[in-house]
Amino acid sequence: MTSSTSAYGGANNNYLYIGEKGSHREIAKRVLDRDLDYNEVVHHLDENPKNNKLRNLIILQRSYHSKLHKYIIKKTFTTDNYNDIKIEDSLKWLNDNSIEYIRLNEYNIHTYNN
């Protein structure tokens, strides 16, 4: 079976398409050029699982991913509006808590043909 990966866009509009498969884990694997281990989770910063723009994807440890979602839920209840949770809020929380993560848009994008 042959699959192809194409990268489109520039620094402000990073998309990565993997054949017809838009799996965020597969995207992360291709961008990092390695397999993800079980404890590495790919998180959509805007909480939209269909938004696989590289700038929307981060990788973090499973335990921290759970804590991030608890923070988001708590903040949602505080604001009464899920739309008030911004990408910057999640990144700030991660940084304030010294949690390591990988932003996929910080990696070079290549075109693959397998």
Q: Alpha helices, DSSP H only, in the chain?
A: 24-32, 62-79, 87-96
How high is the pLDDT of residue 66? 94
How high is the pLDDT of residue 101? 93
Rounded distance between C-alpha atoms, residue 106 and residue 87, angstroms: 16
How high is the pLDDT of residue 57? 93
Contact 103, 27 (CB under 8 A): no
CB-based contacts of 104, cutoff 8 Å, min separation 6: 27, 28, 31, 32, 54, 55, 57, 58, 59
How high is the pLDDT of residue 114? 36
Contact 8, 17 (CB under 8 A): yes
Residue 8: beta bridge partners?
Answer: 15
How high is the pLDDT of residue 75? 78
Contact 91, 100 (CB under 8 A): no
Domain boundaries, the chain: 4-113
What does the chain come to in residues?
A: 114
As a whole number, the mean pLDDT across the chain is 76
Kindly report, residue by residue over 45-90, the tens digit of the pLDDT.
988 888 899 999 999 999 999 999 999 888 777 665 555 567 888 9
| 35 confidence band (pLDDT: 50, 70, 90) | very high
